[in-house]
């Protein structure tokens, strides 16, 4: 393989996929920021005090509204647990905030097809139910108490400052009034930029990895690996091996969708794609964070239960969609070099890039740089202690500066 042409081909594929999903990413993060701007963190903690089915459903809904990168979702789940949320509900919130979010659905539709987005939104609740059942059956009070003691030590992981920040609008009134206020616009801009900063690394890594694999790894390798010549075995093998590929990829959050597209074109089963995407909370760096947060035994417990739940969700989605005739017959995920043209993608990208530019400008003009510097700090830095006072001061200045708009 000639190195320079190979690198060029890989980069070209990565850029093509980036161009296809740019507007969708901006739209998804904008909608997520708008929701988070009117949902107070204290409200989330208050309603997650047990593991009843209704509470788990609320946890899933709030998690889906509180879109996060996988690292921030894990940090936020620990924060909720330390402040009184039930451990199972905190984990349901964590799963939903990375796997049931609107931007994930939009990108799945653009790169792979609506069936995959529907599969994720059906499989996500299945995974949460399986987790809840496994926790009730196997999570012993002694292990949970040890995990709580370790969590209360406050050992830093990743994206701690980002997870600790509550940037929702403080003023009252209807949702639309709060969003339309000067404070609301500022809050949306801050959440939008902070969420982008949290996931940008994974998105870039995912696109580059997908471009490299799509350009360098022949389909024949994947077809042998995923047992394409044995249809029944392929359906059994896909959900089992999908999460293992995810664990070794080091790519989480939305960044694993481009790689999922490559795997689908290569021959992995429909259920295997679903289980692969659900394993974004099991990549090796996050497993190390679980060990810091909850101790080694709980980290192994989460590995076993999350892996089992992802596999079960993959199998059930495969069965449901197979019976309903919804599994795509072709393997035509968008992993090819695109030619620029003045089509709807170009116009949408331009429009949403202008929206992003306006939000970034608002962010920079309202103290955003200081908040960004605290994003990967400790919870103490972002909650009113130490440098956290800076965040409170920023909020106070924001309220004072825009008070005449209320």
pLDDT band at 338 (very low <50, low <70, confident <90, very high): low
Higher pLDDT, 16 or 142: 142
d(CA 352, CA 195): 16
pTM: 0.76
Q: Is the pLDDT of residue 373 over 80?
A: no
DSSP symbol at 376: T
pLDDT reported for residue 213: 80
DSSP symbol at 159: S
Q: What is the pLDDT of residues 78-125, one digit of tens each?
A: 888 988 899 999 999 999 988 998 888 888 998 899 999 999 999 999
- Which of 173-177, 367-371, 388-392 has the weakest average pLDDT? 388-392
Work out the percent of the chain whose per-residue pLDDT is above 90: 39
The whole-number average pLDDT for the span 38-66 is 85
Token look-up 């200045």 returns 397
Domain that holds residue 118: 3-405
pLDDT reported for residue 135: 97
pLDDT reported for residue 342: 79
Burial class (CB in 10 A: 0-12, 13-18, 19+), 218: exposed
- Supply the angle between the helices 53-65 and 3-38 in degrees, to the nearest 10: 120
pLDDT reported for residue 403: 41
pLDDT reported for residue 322: 96
Asked whether the beta carbons of 203 and 254 are under 8 A apart, the reply is yes
d(CA 337, CA 214): 11
Q: CA 390, 98, 193 angle in degrees (round to 5)?
A: 35
Q: Is the pLDDT of residue 167 over 70?
A: no
Q: What is the pLDDT of residues 262-304, one digit of tens each?
A: 899 889 999 999 999 999 888 888 898 899 999 999 999 999 9
* Strand spans (E) along 96-190: none
**For the chain, how long is the longest CA-to-CA vector?**
68
Average pLDDT, the chain: 82
d(CA 193, CA 25): 12
- Supply the angle between the helices 141-152 and 296-324 in degrees, to the nearest 10: 110
d(CA 220, CA 254): 27
- State the total domains in the chain: 1
The whole-number average pLDDT for the span 156-172 is 61
- Which of 38-42, 210-214, 340-344 has the weakest average pLDDT? 38-42
pLDDT reported for residue 328: 93
Neighbours of 169 (CB within 10 A): 24
pLDDT reported for residue 107: 86
pLDDT reported for residue 157: 56
pLDDT reported for residue 344: 78
The whole-number average pLDDT for the span 155-161 is 60
pLDDT reported for residue 316: 98
d(CA 128, CA 115): 20
Q: Is the pLDDT of residue 51 over 70?
A: yes
Higher pLDDT, 378 or 77: 77
Work out the percent of the chain whose per-residue pLDDT is above 70: 82
pLDDT reported for residue 212: 81
Higher pLDDT, 394 or 178: 178
pLDDT band at 6 (very low <50, low <70, confident <90, very high): low
pLDDT reported for residue 251: 67
pLDDT reported for residue 88: 97
Reported as half-sphere exposure (CB side, CA atoms, 13 A), residue 204 has a value of 6
The whole-number average pLDDT for the span 341-357 is 89
Burial class (CB in 10 A: 0-12, 13-18, 19+), 384: middle
Q: Torsion-angle region of residue 192: left (phi > 0), alpha (psi -120 to 50) or beta?
A: alpha
- Which of 142-146, 244-248, 314-318, 363-367 has the weakest average pLDDT? 244-248
Burial class (CB in 10 A: 0-12, 13-18, 19+), 148: middle
Token look-up 């089915």 returns 53
């Amino acid at each position: 393989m000639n190195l320079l042409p190979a690198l060029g081909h890989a980069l070209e594929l990565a850029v093509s996929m980036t161009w296809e999903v740019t507007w969708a990413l901006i739209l998804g993060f904008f909608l997520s920021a708008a929701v988070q701007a009117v949902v107070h963190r204290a409200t989330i903690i208050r309603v997650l005090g047990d593991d009843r089915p209704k509470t788990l459903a609320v946890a899933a809904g709030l998690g889906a509204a509180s879109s996060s990168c996988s690292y921030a979702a894990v940090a936020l789940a620990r924060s909720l647990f330390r402040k009184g949320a039930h451990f199972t509900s905190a984990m349901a919130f964590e799963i939903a905030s990375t796997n049931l979010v609107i931007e994930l659905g939009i990108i799945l539709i653009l790169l792979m097809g609506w069936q995959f987005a529907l599969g994720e939104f059906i499989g996500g609740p299945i995974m949460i139910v399986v987790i809840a059942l496994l926790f009730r059956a196997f999570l012993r009070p002694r292990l949970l108490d040890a995990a709580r003691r370790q969590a209360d030590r406050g050992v830093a992981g990743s994206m701690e400052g980002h997870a600790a920040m509550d940037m929702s609008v403080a003023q009252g009134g209807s949702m639309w009034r709060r969003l339309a206020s000067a404070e609301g616009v500022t809050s949306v801009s801050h959440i939008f930029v902070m969420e982008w900063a949290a996931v940008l690394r994974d998105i870039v890594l995912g696109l580059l990895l997908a471009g490299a694999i799509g350009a360098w790894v022949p389909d024949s390798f994947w077809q042998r690996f995923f047992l394409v010549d044995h249809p029944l075995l392929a359906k059994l093998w896909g959900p089992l091996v999908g999460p293992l590929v995810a664990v070794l990829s080091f790519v989480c959050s939305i960044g694993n969708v481009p790689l999922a597209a490559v795997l689908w074109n290569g021959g992995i089963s429909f259920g295997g794609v679903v289980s692969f995407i659900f394993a974004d909370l099991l990549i090796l760096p996050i497993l190390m964070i679980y060990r810091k947060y909850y101790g080694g035994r709980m980290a192994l417990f989460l590995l076993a239960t999350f892996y089992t739940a992802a596999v079960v969700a993959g199998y059930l989605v495969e069965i449901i969609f197979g019976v309903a005739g919804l599994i795509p017959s072709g393997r035509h995920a968008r992993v090819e070099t695109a030619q620029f043209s003045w089509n709807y993608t170009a116009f949408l990208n331009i429009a949403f890039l202008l929206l992003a530019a306006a939000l970034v400008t608002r962010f920079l003009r309202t103290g955003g740089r200081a908040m960004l510097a605290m994003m990967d700090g400790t919870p103490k830095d972002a909650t009113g202690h130490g440098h956290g006072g800076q965040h409170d001061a920023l909020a106070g200045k924001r309220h004072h500066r825009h008070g005449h708009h209320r």
